[in-house]
């Protein structure tokens, strides 16, 4: 692993408050961060919501029929 990459991963882990126990974990944190970023990018591509669009709740979900 290159020094810059290792530093980036350590920062990723530290920002999330996650411990660094071995190099496997370092890779896991980086993959997790990339996965989260990808998912959020897919969410942003789904378009804009109206300010009136409320969060789902259990009651709203099952009463939506």
Hey, CA dihedral for 1, 23, 13, 27, is it positive or negative?
positive
Q: In the bound complex, what is the minimum distance in angstroms from residue 4's beta carbon to other proteins?
A: 20
Around 29, how many Cα atoms within 13 Å sit in the side-chain half-sphere?
Answer: 22
> How far is Cα 61 from Cα 3, in angstroms, rounded to an integer?
48
> How far is Cα 61 from Cα 63, in angstroms, rounded to an integer?
6
Q: In the bound complex, what is the minimum distance in angstroms from residue 18's beta carbon to other proteins?
A: 6
Q: Give the x/- contact pattern for other proteins in 7-46, rule: CB under 8 A.
A: -----x---xxxx-x--xx--xx-xxx-xxx-xx-xx--x
Chain contacts with other proteins (rule: CB under 8 A): 12, 16-19, 21, 24-25, 28-29, 31-33, 35-37, 39-40, 42-43, 46, 49, 53-56, 58, 60-65
């Amino acid at each position: 692993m290159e020094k810059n990459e290792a530093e980036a991963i350590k920062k990723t882990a530290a920002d999330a408050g996650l411990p660094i126990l071995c190099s496997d974990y370092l890779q896991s944190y980086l993959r997790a961060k990339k996965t989260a970023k990808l998912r959020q990018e897919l969410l942003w591509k789904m378009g804009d919501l109206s300010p009136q669009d409320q969060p789902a709740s259990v009651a709203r979900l099952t009463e939506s029929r």
